[in-house]
Structure 1
């Protein structure tokens, strides 16, 4: 008597899996996803989610998720069995050969959450996969640069938190520190625009990233603030103010303003030849000074340089560079109210400046700061 029906189904070969992935993605369209979403909206009337009607639309999404999970297992193993390197190489080659890489990108906006999560994980593995002397998936994208345009136009990482987190954590993120300084103005501008979005969208994800990579990130960012390129310095300084002021980043701000190296960066920018940069630097510098819990090292720097700082501040006027930033945490600082931190007009700026001058003078008179 045969018991073959108890045996697990034979695992797909790389070629079979790629064909299954391609077919399931081609069966998926915006209408399919919309139908499933509509069905999910009525789930609340069922006590058991299994009551959800088994429609072709739902089957299509489930087929994609099943195939993506199989792809992830083939690429990464299942926790017990390591991936077969030959199969991994064949999978990468087939994905490129069958143009499935393009399908991944074009179908990404309409995939379900589980499918997106698995795809992002597989994507990073595929890009790193070297077959022979080349990374075939990277080479495929190089030959189909319109795919990158599609990603940018869709602004995929703005919509999908899982992709956003991946971009922040990926080695590619570090390249933005170089791209924003490229001599080609259009490329540098586009790079900085994306860089800004990465640091200001999805606040919680950015906060987690900055917390985990604080030292590495700000070491690289310091180079932008010290750039010989005026546009880079100005944009970086403005962006620094923006993402440090996000409420989830308040702990990052508090850490930043007790570090001597970053105080010195702001002091250097106060001497910049650009009035705009001077004013922008002042609106960060004043938070170092206003902090009621300044560490001794900060006080020492302020005291030792108080004459030069006072001279700079006395000559500083808002002009066209006045700030419109509002420090959401300013109420915790004794020197400024929230409205004072805004720096919204000339009178307000002068008032802030006088308070900073008085605080520097007070610190310079403190004993035992030599």
Structure 2
């Protein structure tokens, strides 16, 4: 008889609606420990986990495309995403993780060939301001950071962050004393500067002066080894990307940039030396070197040639050896 009175399973849309109602309750209710609040919080946690299972599947079943579509449509029909982001600090750690995974998955869900998450974020850009400012709160920084990286999969959203004052904040976040948060901020920073080629090129061209002044001073010249290592690798990724060729030519034409690179070549860390070499070779290979660049290279010619002759990496790399031979040739010919 028991089976006859089993409650009917909720549809994905019903789970989302109930989650939204519970989030509204959590957002406006007091922080008191009343039994009803505890009960509602437990129900909310259960619902968010259910949303995760619908989107990702469970051990026994794969996610169903149609079910995911229904969930996504209902999720973005009203302000469920806004409520979830605002209420995240009030959730327990496990539920925050579940919520982060739900938000991440929804950024990739197509509904009638459209990423409706992108449309929603376009109309609610202040949510991105909240996510970026999350780096200032240790408790939620990693969850908001993970959500933010998923949101900037959408080109228009990445452009919004790049064109905002938030970009200057990243130079602070990357140097935060908490290693995990600083690393997460750098991961977001790197994603912003490498994912959408045309948008990145436009940003670097428009903001060249202040951006590279900050990059050189705060990242490449940082006292922190990890920061220097991540920064020189990212600089190489940006300058060696063909879409940034005009920015690269501008960068390798300035003597201050060359001086920083030559200092990085002298680092005790082989990793930093190798990544610095990949940028330094662009200065050497430039066929239109300004006189001040030629002058610095000539002044240091014998030291550079001595260094390059003994410069080896641990594994065999034909491209590295070919690049080194070319750089030695360019500097010898000066």
Query: How would you bin the TM-score normalised by the shorter chain?
Result: 0.5 to 0.7
Could you list the per-position Cα deviations for residues 42-87 of structure 1 after superposition, in whole angstroms to 9, with x for gaps in the alignment? xxxxxxxxxxxxxxx9xx95xx6xxx9xxxxxxxxxxxxxxxxxxx
Unaligned runs of 5+ in 2: 1-23, 25-50, 56-65, 89-98, 108-114
Q: Which residue of 2 aligns with 1:189?
A: 183
Could you list the per-position Cα deviations for residues 232-286 of structure 1 after superposition, in whole angstroms to 9, with x for gaps in the alignment? 1111111111122223212111211112111111111111111221122112111
Paired residues, number: 248
Contact 1:266 1:284 in 2 (8 A): yes
Could you list the per-position Cα deviations for residues 6-33 of structure 1 after superposition, in whole angstroms to 9, with x for gaps in the alignment? xxxxxxxxxxxxxxxx9xxxxxx99899
**What root-mean-square deviation, in Å, do the aligned CA atoms of Structure 1 and Structure 2 show?**
4.0
Q: CA deviation at 1:350?
A: 3.8
Could you list the per-position Cα deviations for residues 71-125 of structure 1 after superposition, in whole angstroms to 9, with x for gaps in the alignment? xxxxxxxxxxxxxxxxxxxxxxxxxxx96973999999575655532321x558x
Q: CA deviation at 1:214?
A: 0.6
Q: Which residue of 2 aligns with 1:163?
A: 157
Q: Which residue of 1 aligns with 2:320?
A: 349
SS in 2 for 1:159: coil
Q: Which residue of 2 aligns with 1:362?
A: 333
Q: For 1:114-263, list aligned pairs within 5 A.
A: 115-120=120-125, 149=143, 152-153=146-147, 155-223=149-217, 224-263=219-258
CA–CA separation in structure 1 for the residues paired with 2:199 and 2:246: 14
Distance 1:139 1:154, change over 3 A: closer
Distance 1:203 1:306, change over 3 A: same
Unaligned runs of 5+ in 1: 1-21, 23-28, 39-56, 69-97, 128-136, 321-344, 364-370
Distance 1:199 1:347, change over 3 A: closer
Contact 1:180 1:191 in 2 (8 A): yes
Distance 1:161 1:358, change over 3 A: closer
Q: Considering fraction of residues, name the structure with more helix.
A: 2
Q: CA deviation at 1:139?
A: 10
Q: For 1:34-183, list aligned pairs within 5 A.
A: 34=69, 102=86, 109=107, 111=116, 115-120=120-125, 149=143, 152-153=146-147, 155-183=149-177
Distance 1:139 1:206, change over 3 A: closer
Q: CA deviation at 1:142?
A: 8.3
Q: Which residue of 2 aligns with 1:287?
A: 282
Contact 1:102 1:147 in 2 (8 A): no
CA–CA separation in structure 1 for the residues paired with 2:161 and 2:230: 21
Contact 1:207 1:248 in 2 (8 A): yes
SS in 2 for 1:292: coil
CA–CA separation in structure 2 for the residues paired with 1:155 and 1:140: 13
Contact 1:156 1:163 in 2 (8 A): no
Distance 1:112 1:298, change over 3 A: same
TM-score of the superposed pair, with normalisation by structure 1: 0.55
TM-score of the superposed pair, with normalisation by structure 2: 0.61
